Amino acid sequence: MEAIRFMKTLEPEKVAPFRFDGGPIGCLLIHGFMGLPCVMRELGEYLAERGISVLCKPLPGHSTTPEDMMRTTWYDWYNACREDLADLSSLCDSVFLCGLSMGGTLSLHLAAHHAQEYKVAGVVTYGAPVHMKGPLLPLLPIAKKVVSFLKVPEKDVADPAGRDLARSYDRVPLACLSSLLELLAHVKHDLQDVRVPVLLMQSKNDHVVPPSDVHLIHALVSSRDKTVIEVERSYHILPVDYDKRLVKEKTYEFIHRVAHSRGNCASQSVNT
């Protein structure tokens, strides 16, 4: 009965992958931990309307039940993204990685290891972490041995409409949360290998990821073209929150600029 209940909770339109075939510039959209493709769809439609080929799929374990997710690790999520990147790059001249939260961290990891292989031209992140907030995190190594799941708090979205759209499982597998922390620690050491242009978007009122992480990522990546944009009206899930229009516009401006002018190596920080 538990599996059936969660299958009903996750509406088909929320978990459905989407793909828009456009021009020679591609964009792989990657949702976050405990997230769904629906939170990236409006951004994907915006980019597709401007001639960009777009692909977004649910990460393994994220579109069925918490029990299914419990059987996955960050290696499964990363390898699925790499396969999607390979698929998109086979059809496009260049590909941009745009990731929300953990999806942003996965995007940076892909750029660090596969930029040349898969024609990665740039990375855009929305609230990408290298650390996580949470008073229970220090207890996780012990807690996961005695408890399989914890109740998920309300999604960190200021806009009520976006909060409803972002709702997914109501339980998080502690083994997966532990795997997420392993991913963050791993990628932190790989950021120096990111050399493609990056656009890092972050809310100053993020309750999931320390807002200071965006500046740490900015400092650690080796990209010569790297920009930070900070917002204040939204919380963590930027693509469906109050600043979503700015997110869409700045993402497209970055993709358009980098795709048509690879020589730009400006480094800047922008506050809005």
Helices (H), the chain: 2-9, 12-15, 38-49, 66-70, 74-89, 102-114, 140-146, 160-166, 174-190, 213-220, 244-260
DSSP 153: P
Specify whether 236 is catalytic: yes
Residue 24 CA, chain-centre distance (Å), reads 23
33 DSSP assignment: T
> Which is nearest to 216 in space by CA: 194, 241, 191, 237?
191
Alpha-carbon distance of 20 to 54, in angstroms, equals 5
Strands 149-151 and 171-173: antiparallel
Token digits of residue 92 = 């496009």
Does the annotation flag 33 for ligand binding? yes
Which listed residue (84, 159, 206, 213) is catalytic?
206
Nearest residue to 59 (alpha-carbon basis) of 37, 85, 27? 37
Cβ–Cβ under 8 Å, residues 28 and 95? yes
Catalytic residue flag (residue 107):
no
* DSSP-derived 3-state class of residue 128: coil
Cβ atoms of 130 and 27 within 8 Å: the answer is no
Residue in 31, 62, 218, 236 annotated catalytic: 236
Cβ(133)–Cβ(209) under 8 Å? yes
Specify the 3-state DSSP secondary structure of 191. helix
Q: Which of 101, 107, 179, 223 is catalytic?
A: 101
Decide if 94 is catalytic.
Answer: no
Query: Residues within the annotated binding site for substrate?
Result: 33, 102
Which active-site residues does the annotation give? 101, 206, 236
Query: Residues within the annotated binding site?
Result: 33, 102
